[in-house]
Structure 1
């Protein structure tokens, strides 16, 4: 804390400085000023928590200083020193927020008492200010969430409107007179690749930005509001209660605003005008249908209006119809056979004049089923991950920079993925007849035992030298490192259980010596077992919050 002593007489300032026990008050800086003018400059620059000022000073008096502090709402506590027992001075002190009025010559006990009262008063008010700031921050964070939840509830069940009406009208006065409404859906599913990469780990920021931009235009027209729909992970909902006939123009205006701000474009689906609030869900379903049925091969407007006679393609192309040809090509292990099989599928896709979101979802489902069958067929019970580069996106068919599906890029991804799978299949076939891989599997299954090279040599009827040499050649690491890595991986799972001691974990994975286990663990993971446990506990706590 800081204190400021204001008096035109230096001996008075020295007396106040000497009489007070500043350290016990928590005051580490004591400043001085000769008059009110100098004091004002110091207060603005240093922001002291306590000001002790004389009442009668040349140039600018203590009364002027009190008025200035109150006028500028400076958060400091003031104590008045005066050689005059004057009622008017006392009255002005109280009127302008002075905490105490002390007569000269200064009594040390009175000064100490006044300073302690001032310091404690300031601390209490500072805590209150901090609490107010925290509450304000929390409310600013909660308000958008509450608002989104409120509107999501209304969209899910219009029957809730009567119960929510007062709250909704308080936030959105335009709803008070609403008779009809219309829903627009802004979809993140088909956003351009650059935006997808930019906001890959900041999706909340993207939602916040899109909602703010949309509401900037809607608030200007006083015709609706945008919110995050909590039943969907990839939609911003725009609820319109005005400008319903011009909704397409409103969407175009918002789209241009988003493009200017984010340098990217998004798709909008528009439902038809419906009664408010009973028709909200129907208008929302129409907006989603418009998005699902739009032709992703076209580069026309990114705004699609629902048409009552618009239906999805009756003709559907199934990936499963080409599964066997691709599977045989993978079994062959030949790149030219894989390219031919994938090319046959892509040729059929290119023959389609229209590809919709619904079609992509169908292919995605079929691809996941096929993957599960292939892993079971090729690798039995072994866990093998088969992924396309684009599988982090909503659809397995990758989008180009403009947000259109890229059949060419999909062909490249699918071909390379199938070639990698064929390579894994060949490795598996080679492993099945190789005794070194049998030893590796034995280590994986019996890692908790006390294993020695001699025991393995006896088990597999081989020399220790042969096992040691071939193990390194085949797997790229020696057997001790291989076993240590397995044991450490298993121990990481056990460390997640806070009830298990480090020594118990060490014994469970084959180490009788806790210190040696910790040494091996730190060598491979860079941290000790105890540090790893604390880190994972912190991560789990953050995920929970």
Structure 2
């Protein structure tokens, strides 16, 4: 703590210095002043917590000093030391908040008791001030958040909208006379890495800065209010209730301010307006739709309404456009050729360029179509192995995110690169999974060629190669066009036909030699495959 001794007699100031046990009171800095005027200058500079002062001084009366301290340094405590036992002086000391009135000559115990009392009271008051300050900070932090919640509830909770509006009016957030407003929606690009970096990747801090800039244009003339919308991340809403018809001009001013401050311009979805709070949910849907349907090719347009949406000129719906390229993409992926994939992607980009309109909504639709295409293709080719492959690809999706559809700038080239990466990863996945599968199938066929004479079964082969019966059945059908039993039967009959060239072997012996132990069943299979019985076949071969 700091203390100031004020007396026009140097010997009195010295006596006070010697008599007070400063260290025990935790007072480490002590200054002196010879008059009230000098004391005022020192108090402004030195800011002492305690002033020990004389009442009667030649320059600057003690009463004047007390009055000044009371007005300009209200937390400072003071003790009056005087040679005059005057009731009026005592009363003035008490009135101005003095701690004690001590008569000269100064008694050490009396002045130390007075100093201890003053220090204790100052500390109690300081603790109270700190608590009040903390509560004030907390209130200032909570109040905007609570206001945002109430404002958001006007859209999200129609049941409580009327009560929320009454509270906002009583808090002065929404003027009492306001009965209608026009809603504007700002979608902030969550993928704007360079801007987020300026705010240490704190998106809340970025939103706070953007809202403050918007409110500089709104609150000064009480035109409306901007706030963070709790219903969706990275969205700012504006309620414009004064001169809503001039919303376009206001947006231009806000965007100019944003550009000067952050070198960014934002896209605004603008609703048509209406009574509050009833129209606000519909207005929000309208503004959000305008943002979602904005034409990304029109990069210099920042104000979007449903009436300004570019009409679709094509004969078929753009939402089904991906179906036109799906087969080309499938063939490109199946080929595994990067050049063919790049060509397929380029044709898609050229198709999009020719449309004259690409919207965030369409891009999200096409992205969803692509994901469905990938899932269907992997399930068709990899079967039960597809789920594991899809999991890895979904992890890759998180590392190679597509360009944001709410980006400030749209680039077909960025989307082309992402489309290419997407398809190449699918092709790589198929290639990786098919290589060992092809090897396994080759080994299975080789195993059949060496063991066709034994009692082969699907279960035995599955167990031998550590794969499922379903896997073998599916691969046989996909790669050979036959199921397992048909392939094995044809292979055995081909071997039997060779053995029939030997006239010394009986049909029953031949059946045994190719792994079919029932001669009647052998004859049945033979006729099914060759169209004639084994005996007739042998006769024809013998004639030739």
TM-score (norm 1): 0.69
Q: CA deviation at 1:332?
A: 5.4
Cα contact 1:183–1:239 (8 A) shared by 2: yes
Residue in structure 2 matched with residue 316 of structure 1 by the alignment:
319
Q: Give the superposition deviation at 1:77.
A: 0.6
Query: In structure 2, do the counterparts of structure 1 residues 4 and 234 end up closer, same or farther at CA, with 3 Å as the change threshold?
Result: same
* Paired residues for 1:273-284 under 5 Å: 273-284=273-284
1:348 maps to which of 342, 348, 351 = 351
Going from structure 1 to structure 2, the CA distance change for 1:61 and 1:178 (only over 3 Å counts) comes to closer
**Do the aligned partners of 1:83 and 1:105 also contact (CA within 8 Å) in 2?**
yes
Give the drift of 1:32.
2.5
Give, in angstroms, the shift of residue 181 of structure 1: 2.7
Q: Map 1:283-432 to 2 at 5 A.
A: 283-307=283-307, 314-317=317-320, 326=329, 329=332, 334-369=337-372, 377=386, 380=389, 383=392, 385-387=395-397, 391=401, 394-395=404-405, 399=407, 403-416=408-421
* Partner residue in 2 for 1:450: none
The answer for the alignment partner of 1:256 in structure 2 is: 256
User: Per the alignment, do residues 380 and 252 of structure 1 end up closer, same or farther by CA in structure 2, a change over 3 Å counting?
Assistant: closer
Greater mean alpha carbon deviation, residues 103-112 or residues 310-319 = 310-319
1:190 CA drift (Å)? 8.7
Q: 1:87-142 deviations in whole A, cap 9, x for unaligned? A: 12212212222110011111222112111110011101111111122122112211
Structure 1 residues 420 and 107, CA, compared in 2 at 3 Å: closer, same or farther? same
| CA separation of 1:296 and 1:190: change in aligned 2, threshold 3 A | farther
Q: So what's the TM-score if we normalise by structure 2?
A: 0.69
CA contact (8 A) 1:50 1:119 kept: yes
Matches within 5 A, 1:69-218: 69-172=69-172, 175-189=175-189, 194-195=194-195, 198=198, 201-218=201-218
SS of equivalent to 1:32: strand
Which whole-Å CA distance do the structure 1 matches of 2:54 and 2:327 have between them? 97
Q: Distance in 1 between matches of 2:159 and 2:388?
A: 53
Match of 2:18 in 1: 18
Structure 1 residues 309-318 or 157-166, which shifts more? 309-318
1:278-334 per-residue CA deviation (whole Å, 9 max, x = no partner) reads 212112211111111111111342101222998788322555775675566566554
Instruction: Decide whether the 8 Å contact of 1:82 with 1:102 is kept in 2.
Output: yes
Distance of 2:165 and 2:387 partners within structure 1: 59
* Contact in 2 for aligned 1:2/1:29 (Cα 8 Å): yes
Q: Distance in 2 between matches of 1:266 and 1:381?
A: 36
Q: RMSD value over aligned CA atoms?
A: 3.5
Most deviating of 94-103 and 328-337: 328-337
How far the C-alpha of 1:196 sits from its partner, in A, is 5.6
Q: 1:308 to 1:322 in 2, by over 3 A?
A: closer
> Which whole-Å deviations, capped at 9, do the CAs of 1:7-45 have from their partners, x for residues lacking one?
233333333223222222122222223332332232222
Greater gyration radius: 2
Q: State how far apart, in whole Å, the 1-side matches of 2:435 and 2:16 are.
A: 91
Identify unmatched segments of 5+ residues in structure 2: 439-544
| 2:295/2:310 contact within 8 Å kept | no
Q: How many residues align?
A: 429
Question: Over residues 426-450 of structure 1, what are the superposed CA-to-partner deviations in whole Å (9 max), with x where a residue is unaligned?
Answer: 78889999xxxxxxxxxxxxxxxxx
CA contact (8 A) 1:36 1:64 kept: yes
How far did 1:149 drift?
0.8
1:266 maps to which residue?
266
CA distance in 2, matches of 1:39, 1:430: 93
Alignment CA distance shift 1:53-1:432 (3 Å): farther
Spell out, residue by residue over 1:320-374, the C-alpha distance to the aligned partner (whole angstroms, 9 max, x if none).
Answer: 7756755665665543233233333333333322111211222333445566676
For residues 134 and 18 of structure 1, what CA distance do their matches in structure 2 show? 39
Take 1:390 and 1:351, find their aligned partners in 2: how far apart are those partners?
27
2:355 is paired with a residue of what secondary structure? coil
- Distance, in Å, in 2 between the alignment partners of 1:254 and 1:130 is 38
Question: How far apart are 1:72 and its partner, in Å?
Answer: 1.5
2: CA distance between counterparts of 1:98 and 1:42?
19
Please tell me whether the aligned partners of residues 191 and 267 of structure 1 are also in contact (alpha carbons under 8 angstroms).
Answer: no
